[in-house]
A = this chain, B = another copy of it.
Amino acid sequence: MIGAGIVGLACAEELVRGGHDVRVLDPDPGGGATRAAAGMLALGGEAWHGETDLLRLGVASARLWLEYAARLQAASGVNVDLRTEGTLLVGQDHDDLRQVRRTIEVLATEGIAFRELDRPGARADEPTLSRVAGAVLLPEDHNVNPRLVAEALLRLLGDRVVRTRATVLDGRVCLAEGTEFGCDAVVIATGAQARSLVPQVRPVRGETIRLRVIDPPSRVLRARVHGETVYVVPRSDGEVVVGATEEEHAEQPVATLGTVVRLLHAARTLVPGLESAEIVEITARHRPGTPDNGPLLGVTHSPGPVRQVLAVGHYRGGVLLAPLTAQVIRAHVEGGDIPAVARPFVPSRFGPHEISTAADHWKDPMS
């Protein structure tokens, strides 16, 4: 396994459960997009027309999460803060609300539960809201703290996680110091850093801001605020995560003045009580985007002595998709049956896929 973000860690833990001898190689476990992620397990909160396969993949993985979180907690002793209060999709003004309703139409066709709330209903449900136009309650859209999930998985994996850089060169796994790492198969789960190996992956910067506030919202708010999208995710420890921007560029992911101001301004318009919130942390990371916004899950046709399996390109869905990805990758490694819902996401949908073997991997500014 190369990459110890939430996807790599979940795959590794599942393979360990299958009796495999696993090592996870990463110079900074849990330090990539996992560290920025808000952890929304949105059944269809990010649904778009034309992405039905991806919506179904998300629904299938979301439905694994209750049991998955319970198992991780029991095994590791780390409470991953799974919250099941549901999510409010909020429209600040009537144009925003129209956009929210368009999302709901997609969910309805997939049988996802929701309940529309008018202005008084929305504010009765969530008194921290400002005078919003309306909202839709998604009772099954839960959330989890990705940093705690990573902590739980790291505890379960113990010294199987090795702090080192690694890549694939000429069909072999190579460590940063130039030595070869012997193995039968390698799972590549390097998030946005997969770009050097998998050209379909592109970096999409995301910024999240962690606040602390006396009176946080009681559940996740996903909103359009005068055309800006923003989410507000309360944690059980009083922290509130505000996100997230999306900017496509290949520079180092840093928090910029313009995006931080836009996010915070939208957040306080939605929830006026955030005005006096303490700013605890600003985090910018790259998400791994792909041409169809879906992940690449499966074996490659690359030559070489080591079987190569991709678990990359999870874009905005790494946390949501982690439990299902782990099962799918285990099936790919073991040559077992691939769940039907995951079959559209084989890497070969972009044509015969080979891991790039360019010699300049180490020069990649992302890695």
* A211 proximity list for chain B (CB < 8 A): 257
Say yes or no: is A124 at the interface (Cβ < 8 Å to chain B): no
The 8 A CB mask of A266-284 against B (1 = contact, 0 = none) is 0110000011111100100
**Interface of chain A residues 112 through 150 with chain B (CB within 8 A):** none
The 8 A CB mask of A223-253 against B (1 = contact, 0 = none) is 0000000000000000000000000000000
Interface SS, A side: helix
Given A279-B282, A282-B279, are A261 and B256 also a contact pair (CB < 8 Å)?
no
Say yes or no: is A254 at the interface (Cβ < 8 Å to chain B): yes
Supply 21 A–B pairs (Cβ within 8 Å), ascending by A. Answer: A254-B279, A255-B279, A256-B275, A256-B277, A256-B278, A256-B279, A257-B264, A257-B274, A257-B275, A257-B276, A257-B277, A257-B278, A257-B279, A258-B268, A258-B276, A260-B264, A261-B264, A261-B265, A261-B268, A265-B265, A279-B282
Docked pose: A267 CA to B257 CA in angstroms: 10
- How far in angstroms is the closest Cβ of chain B from A285? 14
Docked pose: A274 CA to B256 CA in angstroms: 9
Docked pose: A179 CA to B29 CA in angstroms: 46
* A264 proximity list for chain B (CB < 8 A): 257, 260-261
* A282 proximity list for chain B (CB < 8 A): 279, 282
